[in-house]
Structure 1
Amino acid sequence: MSQVKYKRIILKISGEALAGDEGTGINPTVIAHLAKEIKSVHDLGVQIGVVCGGGNMWRGETGAKLGMERSQADYMGMLATIMNGLALQDGLEYVGVPTRLQTSIEMRQVAEPYIRRKAIRHLEKGRVVIFGGGTGNPYFSTDTTAALRAAEIDADVILMAKNGVDGVYTADPKLDPKAKKYSELTQLDLIAKNLKVMDRTASSLSMDTHIPLIVFNVNTEGNIKKVVLGDHIGTIIEGGK
């Protein structure tokens, strides 16, 4: 553990990342890749919490725009994150990583209810803890869930794993060839520059709890391990002082 910079992490994986190039659904090849990457970090002795998004299946905000009641649409999105969590749990256990899935919405047949002290105990025993169901409340994103769980378990950093994007840019690099990548930012920069890395609630919480955020490309083999070891890849967003 002496060479490890971050000893307890929250890994935020977007739903789109789990879908891979297909855009929707769960891609088994992507799950296998992520499981291998997480295992390489777990083997270092790092304590790992994971928050999955649900955008590969459903977005509550999109449902609301189509005329659904927003709370109902958001609860559907929370269920999508639990499905993603189950898929990732299966992938991790296939490669021999002990895992627990905890949900903010009780679903005892498939997962434990979220209990902060129990989650920390699992981490201390070397189990990867996947947090499903978002915060358990509508109107809050899984970005906010990642910031909240990071604060609750006293994580050293939030690693925001992106699908094919290697950091934060001045504009969308796929649309603007002149877009420049930021090496370092602050949470205040995200808000002031309207950089859509995470929503404002998540940014404010990260700033208040002083937890840094690193945005990087999860598709590149070895990137999660490199970040944990302290290599400067992607964009580092300071949590504030």
Structure 2
Amino acid sequence: MFERVLIKLSGESLMGEQDYGTDPERIRAIARQVSQVHARGVEVAVVVGGGNIFRGLAAQASGMDRATGDYMGMLATVLNALALQDALEKQGVPTRVQSAIAISEVAEPYIRRRAMRHLEKGRVVIFAAGTGNPFFTTDTAAALRAIEMHAEIILMAKNGVEGVYTADPMKDPDAVFIPEITHMEAVEKRLRVMDSTALTLCMENRLPIIVFNMSDEQNIDRIVCGDRVGTLVRT
């Protein structure tokens, strides 16, 4: 069984069947899954994306300055973090949100030692606002925070797909599921595990990743207990 894990949730994983925004039932389902592994004594950190609300790249395509768009995206992740915190606390799970940008009225500033202490005391820590810098994705934030927290593994939650495939299974019916792959192979083949900066960080620090389907509410618990679920990415 893993003792400390970091879960990466994309903004899209919070949408449910909606076109944008957050689906309260989906957030409750995620909170139930996190609560289940937390009850086992596993220390859980979470990094949330903001793509369900705002994407800096999409804003850049429409003419906005990329840095401005990315900062707006960081604020979107704070909204998602607060929604998840509320759902977790309703499950009886003590939770703290730490933000990489100053927003002291609603979240603590990101302080590594404080975050480590929260985990040691059995609190779930949600990291918001990415790395606090534009031009870096929340995937990179997940890799960075996992390394800083000494997490044993990153759990990359995906919507409706079982793991990593040779192509996008939503678009290519001939896409083949890959049960195990190395970080380097994922980078070289440009597979959609996470962005290349994040993958390289994980590879250099020998941090494994499991890419799995968030739709099955038992998957996180199975992974934490050592079952093979989804795709394992390791050096």
Q: TM-score, normalised by structure 2?
A: 0.99
Gap runs ≥5 in structure 1:
none
Is the 8 Å Cα contact of residues 16 and 23 (structure 1) preserved in structure 2?
no
Does residue 1:99 correspond to 2:99, yes or no? no
Does residue 1:33 correspond to 2:29, yes or no? yes
Shift in Å at residue 23 of structure 1? 3.0
Gap runs ≥5 in structure 2:
none
**Alignment partners' CA distance in 2, 1:151 and 1:34:** 23
**Alignment partners' CA distance in 2, 1:113 and 1:124:** 18
**Alignment partners' CA distance in 2, 1:182 and 1:23:** 29
**Alignment partners' CA distance in 2, 1:196 and 1:65:** 21
The CA deviation string for residues 86-121 of structure 1, in whole angstroms up to 9 with x for no partner, is 000000000100000000001110010000000000
Identity value in percent:
54
Task: Give the equivalent residue in structure 1 for 2:134.
Answer: 138
Does residue 1:191 correspond to 2:183, yes or no? no
Task: Give the equivalent residue in structure 1 for 2:148.
Answer: 152
Does residue 1:84 correspond to 2:95, yes or no? no
Matched residue pairs, number? 235
**Alignment partners' CA distance in 1, 2:126 and 2:135:** 21
Describe the SS at the equivalent of 1:191: helix
**Alignment partners' CA distance in 2, 1:196 and 1:182:** 12
Does residue 1:110 correspond to 2:106, yes or no? yes
Describe the SS at the equivalent of 1:171: coil
The code of the aligned residue for 1:86 comes to: L
Worse-matched range after superposition: 40-49 or 171-180: 171-180
**Alignment partners' CA distance in 2, 1:174 and 1:76:** 29
Shift in Å at residue 172 of structure 1? 1.3
The CA deviation string for residues 183-237 of structure 1, in whole angstroms up to 9 with x for no partner, is 0001101111111221110011000111000000011021000011111010000
Task: Give the equivalent residue in structure 2 for 1:122.
Answer: 118
Is the 8 Å Cα contact of residues 100 and 130 (structure 1) preserved in structure 2?
yes
Q: Cα RMSD over matched residues?
A: 0.7
Describe the SS at the equivalent of 1:40: helix
